[in-house]
Amino acid sequence: MRKQRTLKGPIKATGIGLHTGKKVEIQLNPADVNHGVVFYRADKGVYIEVKSENVVDTTLATTLGKNGIMIKTVEHLLSALYGLHIDNVLVTVWGDEVPIMDGSSAPWVYLLKTTGIIEQNAYKKEIIIKKPVRIKEDGKFAALLPSRKFEVHCSIHFDNTFIGKQKISIEINENTFMKEISKARTFGFTKDIEYLQAHDLALGGSLDNAIVVDEYGIVNEDPLRYENEFVRHKVLDVVGDLSIIGYDIKARYLAYKSGHDLNKKLISKLFEDKEAYEIVGNPNTEKIVGSFVWASLEKSGK
């Protein structure tokens, strides 16, 4: 169990919303212990807590909302915050979408590390998965399985000769997130651009903030940052989506062709079954509770 963390000081940034195409200003501010990550729509005067009940849309991005006010495309920023173990932040946004930056979490990681991160005088709670939670829809699959650490095993399969099938298995910690996941960019296909923009999606998309793929390869002049950058970006999205659980995750995430919607449904199914997880909080009782959980898992052979 680790201490909670926040920022040493505020971070300001400006960028374009991937789907709205609008210029957005954003500021990340330090926050007290147990504050969590909270968005503040400064133009509307509405606070939106990062929690599963506030996920209101998952169409090509994760959108949080409260009282009809929304903040879109939060997953890349949330991924960076979770990956660097930053727990308490007030995110002030002048607009309805988080800036897409370069389509990855790398710019956020740079800003967060440059500003500095400090420990706080409280411990971060953990969620321990005690039994498998699974969801399957339309040939897609996602599950949370018991594990002593946070692992992601992700497979994708696109009807595109350049991407095809890709898979990765990785333990998520601060080091692996920064080196192996954070730089992976979002991606899309040339054949879908006209349809998406006709439906007010990807209006801010460009070769500067996304990998664009046709039937022959990538359209971008810049090369891929990883050989399997596409599946690594899926892991980046998973980390951001699952961070909405609100605790440090001790689980093995296993998925095939998953996305934001399936992740949302997986979280909902998890919290519906009180026997599927254990929340560990007080470090003085962590050894007792944690040992009981692991002993139970080992006895059952899970």
Q: Which residues are catalytic?
A: 260
Beta bridge partners of 126: 248, 280
Cβ atoms within 10 Å, residue 12: 12
Backbone φ and ψ for 72, nearest 5 degrees, come out as -100, 160
Q: How far is CA 8 from CA 11, 149, 185, 221, in A?
A: 10, 28, 27, 37
Strand (E) or helix (H) holding 29:
strand 23-30
CB neighbour burial string for 154-166, b if at least 16 within 10 angstroms, e if fewer: bbbeeeeeebeeb
CB burial of 178-211 (b: ≥16 within 10 Å; e: otherwise) equals bebbbbbbbbbbeeeeeebeeeebbebbeeebbb
Alpha-carbon gap, residue 38 to 124, rounded angstroms: 16
Q: How far apart are CA 175 and CA 251, in angstroms?
A: 18
Pairwise CA distance, residues 25 & 13, whole Å: 6
- Whole-angstrom distance, CA of residue 104 vs CA of residue 88: 21
Bridge partners, 267 (sequence order): none
**Of 112, 65, 118, which Cα lies nearest the Cα of 93?**
65
Distances (CA, A) of 157 to 51, 161, 163, 203: 30, 10, 8, 26
